[in-house]
């Protein structure tokens, strides 16, 4: 069963009773709401005058809920995860820590190839670039096939530069991708934050340390492995944002409203194709992180990534 993504923006007191999340709104005209904790996968807390009980936090972490908190700009800021997400955690930690450099380079090669493939598929899907034999543009196909172990030629960066120059060009000429740049970067940032939390949650559930990456190594990054593994999933966020931009092309109004947040919060429920099957993204992500764990343990050699269609 796919877990729910819960978004709470109202001022409220959050507590638990009988294994339920109870929401007592500050506005007394609103009736309290109740949600089974076991049904929740991700919860986004935006209300700036919100109180939450420690008992509820503990109960949600016991159920491997990813708890996202927002800053005063109402953008995702913090993430809380369970520290004990898998019964074989110690064995998998050890396998991850002891992973050889060649193995990590091979896994990063697979990750970059999957990301470039999905970026090319998205550009082809919306006829931004014509498809080639594999269904992706020819230059993306060439870059994907040329990625070497560890991507020493930085083909990921080359493909990304071309990708961002192309994807919104019809509606927003001169678009530049950057966290602090002009909209719709705000929509991309929000979507990636949800995806990052989802990835970290799945890594913990698979018994892995989200801090210890295969490529990202920033000493201040607590979720380096999540940043690695989410890369081929980013085009699925871009797909939603592209749809928003296409609809709002005439107004160019990309303010991050509740309605647009609601669209981006559907990311975990998106249908993706993985291993020949259609699956919600949240479930596909769990299959991906499980495959990562098995690669570290030596049981398989390839990470299972989704394909954008």
C-alpha to C-alpha distance for 222 and 305, rounded to whole angstroms: 23
- Domain 89-297: which topology? 1.20.120
CA distance 107 to 227: 13
The dotted CATH code for 4-80 is: 3.100.10.20
> What pLDDT sits at residue 219?
67
* pLDDT for res 84: 75
At residue 86, the pLDDT reads: 60
Pairing of strands 51-52, 12-17: parallel
Q: Which ranges in the chain are annotated with CATH 3.100.10.20?
A: 4-80
Say if residues 14 and 53 touch (Cβ distance below 8 Å): yes
8 A C-beta contact, residue 65 and residue 19: no
Q: What is the pLDDT tens value at each position of the chain, 309 positions in all?
A: 789 999 999 999 999 999 999 999 999 899 999 999 999 999 999 988 899 999 999 999 999 999 999 999 999 999 999 887 666 778 889 999 999 999 999 999 999 999 999 999 999 999 999 999 989 999 999 999 999 999 999 999 999 999 999 999 999 999 999 999 999 999 999 999 999 999 999 999 999 999 899 998 776 678 999 999 999 999 999 999 999 999 999 999 999 999 999 999 999 999 999 999 999 999 999 999 999 999 999 999 999 999 998
Rounded CA-CA distance 98/174 in Å is 45
Torsional class of 189: left (φ above 0), alpha (ψ -120 to 50), beta (otherwise): alpha
**Distance, CA of 259 to CA of 263 (rounded, Å):** 7
Q: How far apart are CA 169 and CA 172, in angstroms?
A: 5
**Of residues 69, 77, 147, the one with CA closest to residue 115:** 147
pTM tops 0.85: yes
Residues of the chain with CATH 1.20.120.920: 89-297
DSSP string for 67-80 = EEEE-TTSSEEEEE
């Amino acid at each position: 069963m796919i877990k729910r993504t819960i978004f709470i923006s109202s001022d409220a007191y959050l507590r638990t009773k009988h294994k339920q999340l109870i929401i007592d709104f500050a506005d007394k005209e609103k009736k309290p709401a109740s949600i089974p904790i076991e049904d929740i996968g991700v919860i986004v807390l935006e209300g700036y005058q919100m109180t939450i009980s420690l008992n509820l936090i503990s109960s949600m972490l016991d159920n491997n809920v990813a708890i996202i908190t927002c800053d005063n700009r109402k953008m995702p800021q913090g993430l809380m995860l369970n520290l004990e997400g898998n019964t074989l955690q110690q064995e998998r930690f050890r396998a991850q820590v002891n992973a050889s450099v060649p193995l990590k380079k091979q896994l990063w090669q697979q990750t970059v190839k999957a990301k470039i493939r999905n970026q090319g598929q998205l550009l082809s899907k919306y006829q931004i670039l014509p498809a080639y034999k594999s269904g992706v543009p020819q230059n993306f196909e060439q870059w994907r096939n040329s990625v070497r172990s560890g991507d020493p030629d930085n083909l990921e960066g080359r493909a990304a530069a071309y990708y961002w120059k192309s994807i919104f060009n019809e509606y927003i000429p001169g678009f530049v991708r950057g966290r602090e740049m002009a909209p719709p970067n705000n929509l991309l940032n929000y979507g990636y934050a949800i995806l990052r939390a989802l990835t970290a949650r799945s890594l913990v559930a698979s018994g892995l340390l989200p801090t210890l990456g295969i490529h990202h190594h920033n000493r201040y990054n607590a979720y380096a492995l999540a940043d690695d593994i989410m890369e081929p999933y980013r085009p699925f966020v871009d797909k939603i944002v592209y749809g928003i931009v296409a609809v709002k092309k005439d107004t160019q109004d990309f303010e991050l409203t509740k309605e647009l947040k609601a669209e981006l919060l559907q990311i975990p429920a998106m249908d993706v194709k993985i291993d020949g099957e259609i699956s919600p993204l949240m479930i596909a992500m769990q299959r991906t992180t499980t495959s990562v764990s098995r690669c570290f343990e030596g049981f398989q050699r390839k990470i299972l990534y989704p394909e954008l269609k």
